[in-house]
Structure 1
Amino acid sequence: MGYIAPVKLAGRYRLEAPLGEGGMAEVWRATDERVGRQVAVKMLHAYVHPAERQRFFQEARALSKLSHPGVVQVYDLGQEEGRTFFVMELVQGGTFDQLGPFEDGLEGLRLLEAAQKVLEALAHLHERGVIHRDLTPRNILLTAEGHPKVMDFGLAYLIQESRHLTRTGYTLGTPQYMAPEQAKGLPLSPKADLYSFGAVLYRTLGGKPPFEGENDQSVLYQHVYENPRPLLEVNPAVPPSVSRLSQSLLHKDSGPRPSAAAAAHTLGEVLREYREHLSATPRGGLSRSGHYPGGPAEPGRLEIAGSYDLGGEVAWPGELVAWEGRLWVGSGRGVARFDLAEGRVQRFPLADEVSAPPAFGHGRLYAGAWDGTLSALELSGRLAWSFPTRAEITAAPLVLGGRIYLAGRDGFLHCIDEKGSLIWAFQAGGHLSASPTLYRGLLFAAAEDGWLYALDPLSGHLRYKVETGPVHASLPAARGILLIPTWAGEVHAFDPLGREVLWSFELEGEIWGPPALDHQRAYLSSWGGRLIAVDLHSGEECWSYPAGKITAGLSLAGGHVFAATEEGRVLALEASSGRLIFEASGLGPVQIPPLPYRASLYVASLEGRLYRFTESW
């Protein structure tokens, strides 16, 4: 697009900078001087056929009447000097696929929530007789806050006009995301948009489109006649329920595909279960970011609502996990379960002290003990099976699909099936004290011999290893960065695909508990007594707070950092500023992270008491 001098359209829209150009139109960033806001102006090229210009103008008028938070709003339509233009909402937060690939944790939750919003927007369009016909990642833009907006209705048409438009041969689209019936030139229904979004979702979740080929015809042939590679093989972090939904959207026949409203409802149920899964997984997901989906909205209003005896010590490196209204934690020689509704504790004894954070999966709780045994417990507390290792277990199991990954101080990373049988074992060069992390399709295990091992999660084959220094805490990951907290106090930001250190930050004192991450910052703590926030991408310090000696990992929820100390303090700080919002003291030493869950905060002390903090109104 050649630069032209800024001009005004309709006496109010000042064109400022080109944003893009297609076969039919060019798009400009502009200012609406009448109301003082930034907008996007789309102008059809002068050479577009008058009949197509008139049809597009009529359809844009119909689209301008749509009002939905998931659809880019059309503000104005007009013609000037023979050119048709449309004034729209300006959205500049990137394309939908930039939310992927799917990672278990905060990033995955954000992606699924955005997908549900797109489906709700499609339902809105379809209920009003509009089919988009060209859904691609580039036609679903994100706001600065990450909310998706469906845009670019250049090929859209009203359902009642579909036969005429198909007959005239207007069946354009983007081959990588085109429904089979569209590729064959057949009349379209709203289900064609569902197929296209299924392909967009597949590409976003897995990192690649469902079909690739040397030319458009090769890709279209595969859409019509072939099935895509199972999504779980492309990205093992994708939840099976999400993979099944993607598969249903990509059905070759339009009939079995769900409607947009039905798919949005299904994804809503998936999201409810997924949020519970994150609370039931140590560190808020297999990427171990420490970010939880629940917790108090206003921590400044927290007050103790109850104190309960867990029946045994709760020591490092334990963690609280929650599933469907019940909290579980290793406590002495067994597991304690706290029922939120009943307000009572029930204990399930084991042969030795539980020495690792428990984890949920396959409808069971997995708990590692000091004698090296991993116990699989039914939710009733009945022992389903046990798996012996040769040394104590201090790392939380990682449950992925039908597999359980167990790191032990015998130096082995075991892969076990859901019946307790060994699939494969990888021997590291030193004790494995930290829970493994799944990120960017790799399984990361950090050892006390100072090496980080990156494995293929399916085969257990070593992809690469990097010397880091001894590590005792799990490795959190987000936004393409894997944090490596070394025992000596250095934290390294590591690019797991580029295999390079992006920045390093040195703390005072040993690091016992893992850091936490959000989209902007990493939150670090150590035995040195300070809680520090650093910019996730540059490593520059943002703020620091004298929290005290911290053994437990940090937790994030609702824009707040939660910490507990060896001196018996529990703190909530504003994540953006480090401002203290809440403090409680006198709980006795705390060595495991606080758990934000269902609008409350739960803290378990070393001496074996569970404290429940709720908001007072």
Structure 2
Amino acid sequence: MKLAGRYRLETPLGQGGMAEVWRAYDERVGRAVAVKILHAYVHPNERARFFQEAKALSRLSHRGVVQVYDLGEEEGKTYFVMELVEGGSFDRLGPFEDGPEGLRLLEAALEVLDALEHLHRRGVIHRDLTPRNILLTTEGNPKVMDFGLAYLLQESRHLTRTGYTLGTPQYMAPEQAKGLPLGPQADLYSFGAVLYRTLTGKPPFEGENDQSVLYQHVYEEPKPPETLNPAIPAGASRMVLHLLAKNAQARPTRAAQARGGLAETLRSYRESLSATPRAGAARSGAYPSGPAQPQSLEVAGRFDLGGEVAWPSEIVAWEGRLWVGAGRGVAQLNLIEERIHHLPLGDEMTAPPTLYGGKLYAAAWDGKLGVFSLTGRPIWSYQSRAEVTAAPLVLGSWVYLAGRDGFLYALDENGSLRWAMQAEGHLSASPTLYRGLLFAASEDGWLYALDPQTGHLRYKVEAGAVHAAMPAQGGVLLIPTWAGEVHAFDPLGREVLWSYDTEGEVWGSPVMDTERAYVAGWGGVLYALDLKNGDEVWSLEVGKATAGLSLAQGHVYCATEEGRVMAIEAATGQVTFEASGLGPIQAPPLPYRGQLFVATLAGQLYRFAEM
């Protein structure tokens, strides 16, 4: 079927009570489009609303709003033609995962709020924001669509009073559920419910029928999002609850105000990823900031850390300061003052430090975890039963500590033990939180999947001895075994998707992006592997690698025992920067705020900047 001699209808995309939507091809301009066709039997009032939708959309021009191309009637068919958006609904960005996936979700939320501000400034209230009405492009950019219930503040309002139930109960504002007049805050409430669903995987309220759900929207408070998903940042959780305030006046007054708050949350969250070993609880190793042009990097500073920086140490950063375990303490570099400060510990610093909530968490060889203010004042400590070589994982009020006694300890914010799980071998690697599960791998070859709140074992699988942190992204948990085999594991399906043998011991953590996994080891080769099937995309001779890899701005950063540091273009495997002669390096390079920081085994910290 062809409309207007140019729109060739190809595949039905869906239908509702008013209209059906088709994928079509515009033969005149040569592009795929979506065509919405009104059912012939609809009531005249509904037909008027259909024209209202087209009219509302046609006057909007924003990258976050689906664009209308054409409106027409032919042989009794009323239709309009709009932009085709094929990336799925907004909630497929969730649930929230700590790392690059979480960044993409929060960035997309900012774009939706920007689009809502555009709508509201032009007198349009959407009134039916749901995950299905915010579609994603194939690049992951959100587009607000389906304005069938749009409320035009500057025009006749009788079209909205037809006696029909308007809106979707799971995402409906309390004032909308009660039939009261609506303002922009109703859309903000609905988007708060969409965000809640996307972040946690569940809507804020569920019930046996629509009336039950609407009652909860009006009278009951939602559970804090972080109680359903501990990976959610506190700032994002607070913003969602602010949007879900029962009283419209208690919500942000405009989408721009909500956007400003979320932008600050995003800024703080981006910074927090650099403050956590392996860039967050998902341990992807992908950092949010780094040199834009690594080929122009040159040494801009060198600092004596006062002690060795030995495997498995890592550099972390927060608000212009760097921390790294060196010898029998933690060395801190203030980038403005360019001075080193030392925090002494009772024994060798054998685990990467972690920064969270304005506190420094540092574990030493004697098994003691110390928690300090950023000025070095002791806050509390916990004494485990054996050596610790794994970075503590901190999530909200929970602290997870893996020890070489085989115990994974869960502590509260005051250092009291909540639960402990005993593995069958030493725990040398930091735990990973992904898909709502806490993963710990032991040196005797077992992978444990635990409930992060109770410590109950969900399942365990035999994978091989693991010494390095396990990165996760895109539904895949990467298991780097000490023997050199790397397994791509589906944590929900509980199956190995593929395996690859690097033919050399793997001490340092691999890194991942949306398409590939990158791994290097004692065999001297850096491999880029297709995340879907494990095929080798490219490989590069780099030298013996004990340090983990880092990823930022499309570049993989690799450091070796021979004293080489390289920036390698992730897409091609081409070396764009190299420095040598630094001495053995066992800590991953840290890309941070447009610079690169490298700590050597001998305790020298190099700062590379773009010149």
TM-score, normalising length: structure 2: 0.97
Match of 1:91 in 2: 85
Which residue of the other structure, out of 146, 161, 177, is the alignment partner of 1:152?
146
Aligned match of 2:199? 205
Contact 2:356 2:394 in 1 (8 A): yes
Quick one: which amino acid aligns to residue 65 of structure 2?
V
Partner of 1:480: 475
Give the distance between the partners of 2:29 and 2:301, measured in 1 at CA. 54
Provide the identity percentage.
73
Name 1:506's counterpart in structure 2.
501
1:264 aligned counterpart, secondary structure: helix
* Distance of 1:219 and 1:191 partners within structure 2: 19
Three-state SS of the structure 1 residue aligned to 2:260 is helix
1:366 and 2:361 correspond: yes
| 1:458 corresponding residue in structure 2 | 453
Structure 2 counterpart SS, 1:255 = helix
Alignment of 1:518-597 (within 5 A): 518-597=513-592
CA distance in 2 between partners of 1:77 and 1:601 (Å):
54
d(CA) in 2 for partners of 1:166 and 1:52?
10
Q: Measure how far apart 1:538 and its partner are.
A: 1.4
Paired with 1:169 and 1:240, the residues of 2 have a C-alpha distance of 41
Give yes or no for contact 1:119–1:263 (8 Å, CA) kept in 2.
yes
Which range moves more in the overlay, 251-260 or 261-270? 251-260
Tell me whether 551-560 or 172-181 shows the greater mean CA deviation: 172-181
Q: What is the CA distance between 1:59 and its match in structure 2?
A: 4.0
Q: Does 2:292 align with 1:297?
A: yes
Taking the TM superposition and a 5 Å limit, the aligned residue runs for 1:341-380 are 341-380=336-375
Q: Does residue 417 of structure 1 match 2:415?
A: no
Q: Which of 315, 325, 349 is matched with 2:310 structurally?
A: 315
Which of 54, 66, 71 matches 2:65? Answer: 71
Q: TM-score, normalised by structure 1?
A: 0.96
Quote the Cα distance in structure 1 between the aligned partners of 2:535 and 2:376: 47
8 Å CA contact 1:166–1:185 kept in 2: the answer is no
Q: 1:129 to 1:460 in 2, by over 3 A?
A: same
In structure 2, relative to structure 1, the CA distance for the partners of 1:17 and 1:163 (3 Å cut) is closer
Shift of 1:546: 1.0
CA distance in 2, matches of 1:119, 1:276: 22
1:411·1:430 contact (CA, 8 Å) conserved in 2? yes
**Contact 1:507–1:528 (8 Å) recurs in 2:** yes
Q: Give the match for residue 512 of structure 2.
A: 517
1:491 aligns with 2:486: yes
The corresponding residue for 2:76 is: 82
Measure how far apart 1:392 and its partner are: 1.5
> Aligned AA for 1:34?
R
Paired amino acid for 1:491 = V
- What letter is aligned with 2:566? L
* Contact 2:53/2:149 (<8 A) preserved: no
Closer/same/farther in 2, CA of residues 384 and 51 from structure 1, 3 Å limit: closer
Match of residue 610, structure 1, among 593, 605, 610: 605
1:221 to 212, 215, 221: 215
Supply the distance in 1 between the matched residues of 2:415 and 2:209 (Cα, whole angstroms). 47
Alpha-carbon shift at residue 472 of structure 1 (Å): 0.6
CA distance in 1, matches of 2:522, 2:109: 41
Distance 1:109 1:162 in 2: 41
Note the C-alpha offset of 1:50. 3.3
Q: SS of the counterpart of 2:430? A: coil
2:444 matches 1:449: yes
Task: Give the drift of 1:510.
Answer: 0.6
Amino acid at match of 2:146: D
After TM superposition, the structure 1 stretch with the greater mean CA deviation from structure 2, 591-600 or 238-247, is 238-247
Cα displacement (A) at 1:421: 2.5
Describe how 1:105-116 pairs up with structure 2 within 5 A: 105-116=99-110
Q: Partner residue of 2:22?
A: 28
Distance (whole Å) between structure 1 residues aligned to residue 216 and residue 506 of structure 2: 52
Structure 1 unmatched runs, 5+: 1-5
**Contact 2:328 2:344 (C-alpha < 8 Å) held by counterparts:** yes
Give secondary structure in 2 for the equivalent of 1:568.
Answer: coil
Distance 1:540 1:23 in 2: 47
* Contact 1:490–1:506, Cα closer than 8 Å, also in 2: yes
Q: Give CA-to-partner distance per residue, 1:410-441, whole Å, 9 cap, x none.
A: 11111222222222222211111000111111
Deviation at 1:144?
Answer: 1.3
Number of equivalences:
610
Distance 2:156 2:118 in 1: 18
Superposed displacement of residue 385, structure 1: 2.6
State whether residues 166 and 186 of structure 1, in contact with CA within 8 Å, keep that contact through their aligned partners in structure 2. no
Q: How far is the alpha carbon of 1:38 from its aligned partner? A: 2.1
Partner of 1:255: 249
Contact (CA 8 Å) 1:17, 1:30: kept in 2 or not?
yes
Please give the alpha-carbon distance, in whole angstroms, between the structure 1 residues aligned to 2:522 and 2:244. 52
Q: Secondary structure at the match of 1:214?
A: coil
Which stretch of the first structure deviates more once superposed, 172-181 or 318-327? 172-181
1:244 aligned partner? 238
Q: Show structure 1 runs of 4+ deviating over 4 A.
A: none
Could you tell me whether the CA contact under 8 Å between 1:162 and 1:188 is conserved in 2? no
Rate the CA distance shift 1:390–1:55 in 2: closer, same or farther, 3 A. closer
Counterpart CA distance in 2 for 1:61 and 1:219 is 32
What's the offset of the Cα at 1:161? 4.4
- The range that moved more, 185-194 or 131-140, is 185-194
Give the unaligned 5+ runs of structure 2: none
- Tell which deviates more after alignment, 526-535 or 21-30: 21-30
Question: Partners in 1 of 2:188 and 2:165 — Cα distance?
Answer: 16
CA contact (8 A) 2:281 2:393 kept: yes
Write the letter of the residue equivalent to 1:496. Answer: P
Alignment-mate amino acid for residue 80 of structure 2: F
User: Counterparts of 2:31 and 2:191 in 1: how far apart (Å)?
Assistant: 31
- Which segment drifts farther, 323-332 or 423-432? 423-432
Map Cα deviations across residues 172-206 of structure 1 (whole Å, 9 max, x no partner): 22122112222222222111111111111111111
Q: Which residue of 2 aligns with 1:3?
A: none
CA distance in 2 between counterparts of 1:82 and 1:126 reads 34
The answer to whether the 8 A contact 1:166-1:187 is kept is: no
Shift of 1:166: 4.2
Listed one character per residue, the Cα deviations across residues 65-112 of structure 1 (whole Å, up to 9, x for unaligned) are: 211111111122222223222121111111110000011111111111
**How far apart are residue 158 of structure 1 and its match?**
0.3
Q: Give the whole-Å Cα distance in 1 for the aligned partners of 2:415 and 2:405.
A: 18
TM-superposed deviation, 1:213: 2.2
Supply the AA of the counterpart residue of 1:512. W
Q: Is the CA contact (8 Å cut-off) linking 1:59 and 1:158 kept in structure 2? A: no
